[in-house]
Structure 1
Amino acid sequence: MQPAKHLIALLLLVIATTGLVSTGASAAAFDDAQKEEIEKIVTDYLLENPDVIRQVFGKLRQEDAKREQEAQAERAERSKAALVENKDEVFAADEKLVFGNPEGDVTIVEFLDYNCGYCKQAFGSMLSLVENDKNLRFVIKEWPVLGPQSMEAALVAIAVTREAPDKYWDFHKAMMTLRGTASKESALRVAEKLGISREKLEASYEDKSLLKPIEDNYRLAEALQLSGTPGFVIGDEVIPGFVPASTLQSKLEAVRSCGSTSC
């Protein structure tokens, strides 16, 4: 193939893969015979030089990865700024509903959904941390994002915090180990087994004010750039998604050491 044709083929390939020229504009620039010739040049060139395709798409993948890294960094900056702005509200909780040590020197906040498999996977880590770290303060933010049944279960949980706050931790543990779908009915059954009045919970469930803390958690989660459960907050960092217990532990130690998760 002549050098000029090589150049044309490469130019057309770049145009096709990067969208520098719209399809309509490029099509209007050539008649049918010219387009057939161009297509043949490109086809022949690519068949003779398949590495060009790999190089072009490799470059595109690199650019996509770079854009995603930049987007993640931007989201992290926005979430960090939102955490500073909403810090008091993020870490706040009725002391009767704080688990572990209410006076602990470090707090973990978890945004969760009772139908979230990753939340249940993380629960073992959270339970271990709470039981073994005597200076850990643990706050739960009910954030039902997985549909109507998750919302029902969360509303029952909020009702439990009002009617029997001393049993909320036991209720939470039972819900996190529940087999099957979390819903209003399954949550009420869990509560009944703990000796909480179903009648009182049913009456409380109808109180529209139960939605308020959940709405607040939605607003906070959105500000913190969380896109799904679980989501954690430790010190000055928002952690989206599941992370192993060892990661959480190292971040706790870092906060105790220097006041930040990244010393």
Structure 2
Amino acid sequence: MNSRNWTVLTVVGIVLALGAGLLVGRYWHDSDRTKGNRAEVEKIVREYILDHPEILPQAMENLQKRENAQALSGISDQVHAPFPGAVLGNPQGKVTLVEFTDFACTFCRQSVAEVEQLIAANPDLRVVVRELPILSPQSANAAKMALAAAEQGKYAAFHNAMYAAGQPSPETIAAAAQAAGLDMDRANKTIADPRLEAELTRNVEFARRLGFSGTPSWIAGDALLSGAVGKDRLAEAIEAARKG
């Protein structure tokens, strides 16, 4: 059973419990009976929910916001603080979209154009990219080269070139680095720095705490989104984050 189904069941359970408490109280107050049976109570609760179905999506939305806030508690500032230079869009943007990505991820590759369109439509958008190399043996090497590119101020160039090159391999990583114009001597020294491995390890831990099991995954305001959710859904989340 997926997490959404669990959320639905949880909300229904909460609604039933709350509804039962409220309605049973009303039931006993309105009746002169001192005894009732379970079937009668369940019938009242069921009828209430059927008469007021709007409480279910409202309850689900509130529960999801609460769960998201709990997941982000204590790590939000860290997650939103990029590895130096690993930013797309406006580095000083007032609205932040965080993307967890892997260069071996087909859906991440498909999302590149959507993110570019969102950046073009939102001049105040800062996209913090967190490298999450979990899909292929070469993903980590590509991610480290991306961070080395960030250190040279050429993150966006490498990011786009790497996705355009195809699946990560020694050949495609080298081609993307060349296309981005990296100083390879400098890049190789950066790649050997232990802080890059520490950054990737930290991103894996962030993803675990946030419940992200794959890429792409996104954070915008209090919205946690998994998968290729599409430009429109991301745009909605960005706008909600802008409004606070």
* TM-score with structure 2 setting the length: 0.70
In the alignment, structure 2 segments of 5+ residues that lack a partner are 12-59
Q: 1:254 aligns with which of 234, 240, 243?
A: 240
The answer to whether 1:171 aligns with 2:158 is yes
**Partner of residue 179 from structure 2, selected from 193, 199, 206:** 193
Aligned residue in 2 for 1:225: 211
For residues 91-143 of structure 1, what are the alpha-carbon distances to aligned partners after superposition, in whole Å with 9 as ceiling and x for unaligned?
11256433212222210000000010011111111011112210111110000
Answer whether contact 1:130 1:136 (CA < 8 A) is retained: yes
Is the contact between residue 108 and residue 232 of structure 1 (CA under 8 Å) also seen in structure 2? yes
Q: Does 1:105 align with 2:94?
A: yes
The amino acid of 2:139's aligned partner reads S
> Following the alignment from structure 2 to structure 1, what is the Cα–Cα distance between the partners of residues 69 and 116?
26
Relative distance call for 1:145 and 1:78 in structure 2 (3 A) is farther
1:6 corresponding residue in structure 2: none
**Higher mean C-alpha deviation, range 73-82 or range 239-248:** 73-82
CA contact (8 A) 1:78 1:225 kept: no
Map 1:111-190 to 2 at 5 A. Answer: 111-162=100-151, 164=152, 166-179=153-166, 181-190=167-176
Pick the structure with greater CA Rg: 1
Residues 31-78 of structure 1: CA distance to partner in whole angstroms, max 9, x if unpaired? xxxxxxxxxxxxxxxxxxxxxxxxxxxxxx9xxx95474479789855
Equivalent position SS for 2:165: coil
Query: Is the contact made by 2:95 and 2:126 (CA closer than 8 Å) also made in structure 1?
Result: yes
Residues 97 and 83 of structure 1: CA distance in aligned 2, closer, same or farther (over 3 Å): same
Q: Which runs of 5 or more residues in structure 1 are unaligned?
A: 1-60
Partner of 1:88: 77
After superposing on structure 2, the runs of 4+ consecutive aligned residues of structure 1 that deviate more than 4 Å are: 65-68, 71-79
How far is the alpha carbon of 1:148 from its aligned partner? 1.4
Among all aligned residue pairs of Structure 1 and Structure 2, give the percentage whose two residues are the same amino acid.
Answer: 32
- Alignment RMSD: 2.6
Q: CA deviation at 1:253?
A: 1.7
Contact 1:188 1:198 in 2 (8 A): no
Which has the larger displacement, 95-104 or 229-238?
Answer: 95-104
In structure 1, the partner of 2:190 is 204
Aligned twin of 2:221? 235
Distance (whole Å) between structure 2 residues aligned to residue 129 and residue 122 of structure 1: 10
Q: CA deviation at 1:167?
A: 1.1
Amino acid at match of 1:178: A
2:155 alignment partner AA? Y
**Residues 145/170 of structure 1: CA separation in 2 closer, same or farther (3 Å cut):** same
> In 2, distance between residues paired with 1:75 and 1:147?
32
What SS class does the counterpart of residue 74 from structure 2 fall into? helix
More helix by share: 1
What is the count of residue pairs matched by the alignment?
A: 193
Q: Separation in 2 of the partners of 1:139 and 1:184?
A: 25
Q: Give the deviation of 1:195 after TM superposition.
A: 2.2
**CA distance change for structure 1 residues 66 and 226 in 2, over 3 Å: closer, same or farther?**
closer
- Secondary structure (helix, strand or coil) at the match of 1:140 reads strand
Shift of 1:256: 2.3
Q: Could you state the TM-score of these two structures normalised by the residue count of structure 1?
A: 0.66
Q: Deviations over 1:192-251 (max 9, x none)?
A: 233212233233333333201111101100000001000000001111111111111122
Provide closer, same or farther for how the CA distance between residues 186 and 76 of structure 1 changes in structure 2, counting only shifts above 3 A. Answer: farther
